[in-house]
Amino acid sequence: MIKIKNTISKDTNSKKNASKNETSQSSNSARAIIINVDDLGLSSAVNDAVIQLAERGRIGASSYMAGGQITAADMRTLADLNVDIGLHLDLTGIFPSALQGSLKSIMITSYLRRLNPTQVTDVINRQLDGFEDTFGHAPVFIDGHQHIHQFPIIRQSLIKELNARYSDGSNNPICARVTTPLVDDLKSWIIYGLGGRAWRKLCAENNIATNHYFGGVYDFDANFQQLAALWESWLTNAPRTNHLSPAMHSLPLSIESLGTYAQYGSTTPAIHSVPNALPSNLSPTLIMCHPAVPASHWQDDIKAAREREFEWLMSRQFEQLLHQYEVRLVRWSDIVAS
């Protein structure tokens, strides 16, 4: 792992320096953060969690699994809430294909260069087609289930197809997730080491906007208070952006909010962190999460962790943490627009 860390030591140093200089930042500096829910479409429990969190103004983006299910009503609600929806490229989950397999098998086949590029391109196109058929538009961004989008052969095929479909000749309107570690932990460095640097380079070479740092990595075994500690660590390490104020809202006088992200009562309109006058070339931190509402009608390997994440993300304690660390929640589409 030492070799991996040394390959992006400049990134690590700049992040640490940003944290050290935090107290000297001006009052118009806030943390620009995308909170992205993975696995939309996996279950109605995940879909419901995305909607409820968006109604509270806690998230602004979600990654859809093309092999999943979502109702027309849920899609309308997400559109009304201005939630950016991206494609969660999937070879190891629910999308049926000749390449479908375990993470280990896809990783080995990819790194041995035994994946068939024609088959990979076909799966990518089928998932992009499925996304467009479902939502009626291109994905706002691209990431990968278990980060397979950054593996060899897959990443080259993906870049080629994104350019073929969406490039206007100068800039690609689609954003992409990169996995540059936000915090110095082993699992984050392993994820980044599995193609993260090469994928980030490909995105830069093809004018595809990306996030800066990437957080949200843990082993899905944390309880509520451990989740609180993890999020505090991620927010502490997220760098500030100059000339970016924490989001403010004009609220009806009858609403007395704790901070930026609260919603009180089912009849209270959702309070969203709509950015205003974002700096140009904004490159926010991305924190992924995997919440689901408690439900007995489905099961997967991390269902209990998903339900704990939902409880945490809906909590007043989480809202207070966002307020304490002067978070400005931004969306993928804000990167393109800034």
66-83 pLDDT, tens digit per residue, is 999 999 999 999 999 999
User: What local confidence, expressed as pLDDT, does residue 282 receive?
Assistant: 74
Instruction: Work out the burial of residue 167: count CB atoms within 10 Å of its CB; fewer than 13 is exposed, 13-18 middle, 19 or more buried.
Output: middle
Distance CA 65, CA 72 (A): 16
Is the pLDDT at 103 greater than 50, yes or no?
yes
Is the pLDDT at 28 greater than 70, yes or no?
no
Which of 334, 221, 217, 198 lies closest to 279, judged by CA?
334
Phi and psi dihedrals of 89, rounded to 5? -55, 130
User: What local confidence, expressed as pLDDT, does residue 50 receive?
Assistant: 98
Is the pLDDT at 251 greater than 70, yes or no?
no
Q: Is 123 helix (H, G, I), strand (E, B) or coil?
A: helix
Name the helix (H) or strand (E) containing 215: strand 214-215
Question: pTM of the prediction?
Answer: 0.85
User: What local confidence, expressed as pLDDT, does residue 246 receive?
Assistant: 66
Class of domain 2-337: alpha beta
Q: What percent of the chain has pLDDT over 70?
A: 78
The model's pLDDT over 287-306, given as tens digits with 9 standing for 90+, comes to: 999 999 999 999 999 999 99
The model's pLDDT over 308-327, given as tens digits with 9 standing for 90+, comes to: 999 999 999 999 999 999 99
Mean pLDDT of 165-190: 87
3-state secondary structure 61-105: EEEECCCCCCCHHHHHHHHHCCCEEEEEECCCCCCCCCCCCCHHH
- Of 134-148, 188-202, 324-338, the poorest mean pLDDT is in 324-338
Name the DSSP class of 315: S
C-beta separation of 60 from 329 below 8 A: yes
Helices 224-237 & 316-324 angle (0-180, nearest 10): 20
Q: Which residues contact 169 (CB under 8 A, 6 or more apart)?
A: none
User: What local confidence, expressed as pLDDT, does residue 8 receive?
Assistant: 43
Higher pLDDT, 270 or 206: 206
The domains of the chain are located at 2-337
